[in-house]
Amino acid sequence: MSLKKLAILALIALAAIAFFAFDLGRYFSLAYIKESQASFVAVYEQRPILVTLVFFAVYVAITALSLPGAAIMTLASGASFGLVWGTIVVSFASTLGATLAMLAARTILRESIEKRFGQKLVEVNKGVDKEGAFYLFTLRLIPAIPFFALNLLMGLTRMKTWTFFWVSQVGMFAGTVAYVYAGTEIARIDSLRSILSPGLLGAFVLLGIFPLVTKKIVDGVKKRKVYARWNAVRPKTFDRNLVVIGAGAGGLVTALIGAAVKAKVTLVEAHKMGGDCLNFGCVPSKALIRTAKLRHQIVHSAKYGLASSTTSFSFKEVMARVHRIIAEIAPHDSVERFTGLGVDVVLGYARITNPWTVEVTLHDGSKQVLTTRNIVIAAGARPFVPPLPGLDGVGYVTSDTLWDEFAKLDDMPQRIVVLGGGPIGCELSQAFARLGAEVTQIEMGARIMIREDVEVSELAKAALQADGVRVLTGHKALRCEAVGGRKSIVVEHQGQELQIEFDALVCAVGRVARLTGYGLEELGIPTQRTVETNEYLQTLYPNIYAAGDVAGPYQFTHTAAHQAWYAAVNALFGDLKKFKADYSVIPWATFIDPEVARVGLNEQEAREQGIPYEVVKYGIDDLDRAIADSEAHGFVKVLTVPGKDRILGVTIVGVHAGDLLAEYVLAMKHGLGINKILGTIHTYPTLSEANKYAAGEWKRAHQPLRLLEWVRKYHDWKRS
């Protein structure tokens, strides 16, 4: 540590020690102000400049050192200097002291903080550069937020000193006036009756409502600025309360909620009702996985005590079954159903032309213009196709196009390359391998399912390999080639190139939000990997919301539906009350065999975030029902707060892991500890007992050993 830092630290430490050692805090109390007010005023009248300078210096020192007493001194300034002069003195003293505190934190702490959390602070500093002044201003308007903490926090950012100074000066001014005015009224207290004087009550009422009023003013100013260039086209009346763009999970639920509360809602869909999940994702993939698992069980029937068997099948019929299941579920998301529920459904391409107008190009080429109070963007996501040389030449399918393209085939491609080691890639790789294809899965990273703990990734890899998948991790795709009707992909591993021939190539390297084609660019709505929203799911324009994959941060159907509630309620009732989207308990599952399901933190994330934890693990190989089903593999792993039963996260690997996880999701959502799971009766013999036994493992690890020793002695005494 430099001498400069040591000197500043020593000065702060000495000042703090002196403050508490000499009990200087007694001078910063309301009682002391009342006792010494008369003498202070007398001295002030004799030497106003000197007294003001001393008061100013003390105030700056108290604020700069983050010592208690600033609030009392503000009241004292009103009692001694009056409203106008007291406000001037405190306003500049508090700002100067806050700036010194900020600079001290920056000098002492920022370098070390940046070394440890450099990457995480990059995004914070981007936000500070973009809207730091406004953010600081809004926080300064809220007296409940400790100003000293705010000073220290801003010191860790890259905010310019002058910006911090003038924003603090302006932001704290109104609050300073309120406190100084309260001080002028306190000076007049001479009896219990005077405590209830209208002036003093008014001062405290002002302090209470001030943050609410100023927030409304600030929001109004910001909104006025955002909408300024659109004022000329703002409709006087509106056709709709809500227009929803996209009929996937997020859009369907948003529209349904709007109609349920009797709002006039239009749902616009350009392609298929039900979105990605019904048509290209969850439903068709699970249908394929079920068929593949049944064939796997038939082929391995010997482990169930039956004679070994083989099976023949029509791949065309397998794919036809997938489409039959889509068709069977489709009425749940159909135009007819939602029209019957009160939603106006329009099929066409939507484009937002201004913050209140959506133009829809219908499939027949005609246009329909809708004016609306609010808009919810639920445009979903699409597969990401890597810019791989030669890819278009060899041809490929994605998780979206696979279902229609493979349905055209009489026979399954015998050699399939799956590009990507995430959940989609793993599910498709295992399913096609179980149906008899020769599958090679290519992942550039060190392991598949990189978001899970290492042991989970290894178990998943072993499961795929056991089904015949050739899993190549650490292999980077370089190019595709087509020579003489033979198609191949060239990959690089440890400096060596490897050529892999295939009959079909599946790109499953992830999905990206749909951000273009419906007006975001023209409106200037910021996007990065997703549409940028605040905690209420509002975009740059407060009446335009985003939900689902297009908003992130999760790309799950159930998360899209979860966000839809917030988007719908905030859009329709936000003038009365807004709700922040809650992502505290988000579950997900990967439907390989054995399934991998998780909620909350895993060990990998806990370590990365520096969160202390304890872990208990129960092996499903010991579970009676799993043994009876010949599915005795996997585990339940629970992370808890050290020494407590509060659940931080759960990972389950095993048959029906996604279903078993629900009990832990409920517990975490409602603050139930692992002891509550242990105390719940679970039917025997079921897979759900794994959750109870995992809780039992936690209980055994936290036995009250001293108490049990006394209990042992008690029983010994009872036998004597």
Mean pLDDT of 587-602: 96
Q: Which residue has the higher pLDDT, 254 or 73?
A: 254
Task: Write out pLDDT tens, residues 292-328.
Answer: 999 999 999 998 999 877 888 999 999 999 999 999 9
- 53 and 168 share one domain: yes
Structure tokens at 44: 């002030």
State the pLDDT at residue 179: 75
- Assess whether pLDDT exceeds 50 at residue 191: no
Question: 25: how many CB neighbours lie within 10 A of its CB?
Answer: 14
Asked, for residue 578, whether it belongs to a domain, the answer is no
- 519 and 498 share one domain: no
- 569 and 608 share one domain: no
State the pLDDT at residue 192: 41
How many domains does one find in the chain? 4
Taking CA atoms, 105 is separated from 111, 114, 156, 573, in Å, by: 10, 13, 7, 42
- Assess whether pLDDT exceeds 50 at residue 256: yes
Structure tokens at 361: 């190009």
CATH number at residue 551: 3.50.50.60
> Residue 479: how many CA atoms within 13 Å on its side-chain side?
5
- 16 and 156 share one domain: yes
Q: Is 600 helix (H, G, I), strand (E, B) or coil?
A: strand
Instruction: Look at the block and give the residue holding tokens 């009346």.
Output: 237
Query: Sign of the CA dihedral 106, 109, 115, 120?
Result: negative
State the pLDDT at residue 119: 52
Q: Is 519 helix (H, G, I), strand (E, B) or coil?
A: coil
State the pLDDT at residue 31: 59
154 confidence band (pLDDT: 50, 70, 90)? confident
Identify whether 198 is preceded by a cis peptide bond (ω within 30 of 0): no
Asked, for residue 586, whether it belongs to a domain, the answer is no
State the pLDDT at residue 502: 97
Mean pLDDT of 402-412: 96
Task: Write out pLDDT tens, residues 260-300.
Answer: 999 999 999 999 999 999 999 999 999 999 999 999 999 99
**Domain C-terminal end among 170, 193, 224:** 224
- 540 and 504 share one domain: no
State the pLDDT at residue 144: 57
Identify whether 642 is preceded by a cis peptide bond (ω within 30 of 0): no
Averaged confidence pLDDT in the chain: 87
- Assess whether pLDDT exceeds 90 at residue 27: no
77 confidence band (pLDDT: 50, 70, 90)? confident
Q: Which residue has the higher pLDDT, 129 or 606?
A: 606
What secondary structure does DSSP assign to 679-712, as a single string?
TS---TT-TTHHHHHHHHHHHHHT--HHHHHHHH
Asked, for residue 230, whether it belongs to a domain, the answer is no
**Domain C-terminal end among 478, 510, 542:** 510
Q: Which residues span the domain enclosing 487?
A: 391-510
Asked, for residue 719, whether it belongs to a domain, the answer is no
Question: Is residue 558 within 8 Å of residue 548, measured between CB atoms?
Answer: no
Mean pLDDT of 661-686: 96
What secondary structure does DSSP assign to 613-637, as a single string?
-EEEEEEGGG-HHHHHTT----EEE
Task: Write out pLDDT tens, residues 534-551.
Answer: 999 999 999 999 999 999
Question: Is residue 686 within 8 Å of residue 612, measured between CB atoms?
Answer: no
- 195 and 80 share one domain: yes
- Assess whether pLDDT exceeds 50 at residue 195: no
Instruction: Look at the block and give the residue holding tokens 């299941």.
Output: 325
Alpha-carbon distance 164 to 135, whole Å?
A: 11
Q: Is 472 helix (H, G, I), strand (E, B) or coil?
A: strand
Q: What is the pTM of this model?
A: 0.78
- Assess whether pLDDT exceeds 60 at residue 177: yes
Compute the 3-state secondary structure of the chain and give helix, strand, coil in percent, each to the nearest 5. Answer: 55, 15, 30
- The DSSP code for 108 is I
**Domain C-terminal end among 510, 531, 561:** 510
- 660 and 627 share one domain: yes
82 confidence band (pLDDT: 50, 70, 90)? confident
- 430 and 475 share one domain: yes
- 347 and 319 share one domain: yes
Asked, for residue 333, whether it belongs to a domain, the answer is yes
Q: Which residue has the higher pLDDT, 399 or 106?
A: 399
Task: Write out pLDDT tens, residues 1-23.
Answer: 566 656 666 666 666 665 566 55
State the pLDDT at residue 698: 94
- 178 and 32 share one domain: yes
State the pLDDT at residue 224: 85
CATH number at residue 624: 3.30.390.30
H/E run at residue 360: strand 357-362
- 134 and 22 share one domain: yes
599 confidence band (pLDDT: 50, 70, 90)? very high
- 195 and 55 share one domain: yes
Asked, for residue 579, whether it belongs to a domain, the answer is no
Asked, for residue 352, whether it belongs to a domain, the answer is yes
